[in-house]
Chains A and B, each alone.
Chain A
Amino acid sequence: MKETSYAFDLLQKGKRADDREFEDFRKLELQTGIINTAEGSARVKLGDTEIIAGVKMNVGTPFPDTPNEGILIVNAEFTPLASPDFESGPPSEDAVECARVVDRGIRESHCIEMEKLAIDPEKVWAVFVDIHIINHGGNLIDAAAIAAVAALHNAQIPKYDGEKITRGEYQAKLPVVHKPVTVTVCKLGEKLFVDPTLEEEQIVDSKLSIAFREDDYICALQKQSAGSINFEEIKKFIEVAEKKSKDLRKKIWE
């Protein structure tokens, strides 16, 4: 019930349950290289939200439309371990959406130099980014995007002799050159805020995810709520997202 929700009550008064300002993120913890079976990995904790992203690489055939480029595949698993609301079975709408939003942030920012992943006319590297939710404490997309990009920055290309991949041995770092950051901005009543907790997320009127590159290019946008967003409001959303993406980028890479 929206009206009896404590988060709703507080937000109306300009407060949040954990005493944060409206434009504050929860405590962000990032570790990379945490999975030794993966070519690159990262764990992100954002308040109660915890996500692990793993990068695996295989040799594959290029897509016909991009014969000289590597392949990127982003997948998200909302495992039932992470929330009472997640169920086993094929990926839910939310999981597919999360994967696609993160994918676009990476792909559209040209974060990976895909042309460097061509091996020969028939073979290219395929980069798999798997996002695994460990605990759903709200704002999965932002946390997943951080985890995915951090895992890519952490990734190395395995040794390959033209026939066989030698796992555990690497030839080079994965060529990752940009630092896209996604920020989801929420609106309740007249107020905009970021990094919603699970409880806050359930009562927002509208929600917009925006990915920024370090040179201030927007590389992805996704409206995620049933509620609409006004024209004028969009500007405010973007402003908040840009500011917060810079803060986050500093936290992640400095």
Chain B
Amino acid sequence: MEKEVVLPGELLGERKGRKLGQGVYLENDKIFSKILGMPRISDVEVIVLPLTGKYIPRFGDRVVGTIKEVEISGWLVDINSPYVAFLPLSEGVEEFVDTQRSDLSRYFDVGDTIFCKISRVTKQKVTQVSMRDMIARKLYGGVVIKVTPTKIPRIIGKAGSMINMIKQQTKCEIFTGQNGFIWIRGENKTKAIEAILMIERESHTSGLTERIEKMLGGK
């Protein structure tokens, strides 16, 4: 960690025509942090990356969700957020479905787990998810664990390096949602979960990759 954390209200500098990224606000042409986080300050943009906080849906995010309710024309999906997402029938199933005759629980029932994409978020956070995505799918069996959403990038690692290592070492199937839900299936899931929770706890430390490698190897 080369930079100190910043706190809400902390002055990050004059605006000087720079873009305001996430986690900052402008007051009297000065830029302040609005959250507890790590600053990223450049000549172009000022950002503060959050260290804690809830998942707020963003367009394009890939998330793990669980079906909360089956409606006439779609499903309500829990995406570990203050906002429940809607999966419309047309975004959930490829084939033609006669909603007059069939109950949508045939496709996804309450309690089912899915990996899906955030396909729309309105200003008021009305959120829609879609299964029309290469990697989207229904997830059978397995367990879902919950981690702090802000730690997901660390769990995935650079270009997926960390999560791929865990997958290879434990032979588990893992789907990592940017919302903090992670789905895991496989014989060694206890090991995989231990590794993920260790990354969550120690996400700010260096040499973490080596320690995880050692921990997974040392079975």
Contact = CB atoms under 8 A, between A and B. Distances in A.
**Chain A in direct contact with chain B (Cβ < 8 angstroms):** yes
B142 interface: yes
Contacts, number: 19
Interface in A6-32: 6, 9-10, 15
A6 B145 contact: yes
A4 B144 contact: yes
B111 interface: yes
A6 B193 contact: yes
Contacts of A10: 190
A6 B190 CA distance: 9
Nearest to B113: A4
Contacts of B145: 6
Interface residues of A, number: 8
Contacts of B190: 10, 15
A1 B190 CA distance: 19
Contacts of B130: none
B142 A4 contact: yes
Contacts of A83: none
A211 B143 CA distance: 36
Contacts of A9: 143, 189
Given A6-B143, A6-B145, A9-B143, A1 B111 contact: yes
Nearest to A5: B143
B150 interface: no
Interface residues of B, number: 10
B66 interface: yes
A1 B193 CA distance: 18
A4 B193 contact: no
Contacts of A163: none
Contacts of B111: 1, 3-4
A1 B66 CA distance: 9
Contacts of B193: 6
Interface in B180-219: 189-190, 193
Nearest to A2: B111
Contacts of A4: 66, 111, 113, 142-144
A4 B145 CA distance: 9
A3 B66 CA distance: 12
Contacts of A3: 111
A138 to B, nearest CB: 16
B4 to A, nearest CB: 30
B150 to A, nearest CB: 19
A10 B194 CA distance: 13
Interface in B40-66: 66
A136 B111 CA distance: 25
Nearest to A7: B143
Given A4-B143, A6-B144, 16 more contacts: A1-B66, A1-B111, A1-B144, A3-B111, A4-B66, A4-B111, A4-B113, A4-B142, A4-B144, A5-B143, A6-B143, A6-B145, A9-B143, A9-B189, A10-B190, A15-B190
19 contacts: A1-B66, A1-B111, A1-B144, A3-B111, A4-B66, A4-B111, A4-B113, A4-B142, A4-B143, A4-B144, A5-B143, A6-B143, A6-B144, A6-B145, A6-B193, A9-B143, A9-B189, A10-B190, A15-B190
List 10 tightest A-B contacts by C-beta distance, closest first. A1-B111, A4-B144, A6-B143, A9-B143, A4-B143, A6-B145, A4-B113, A1-B66, A6-B193, A5-B143
Interface of B: 66, 111, 113, 142-145, 189-190, 193
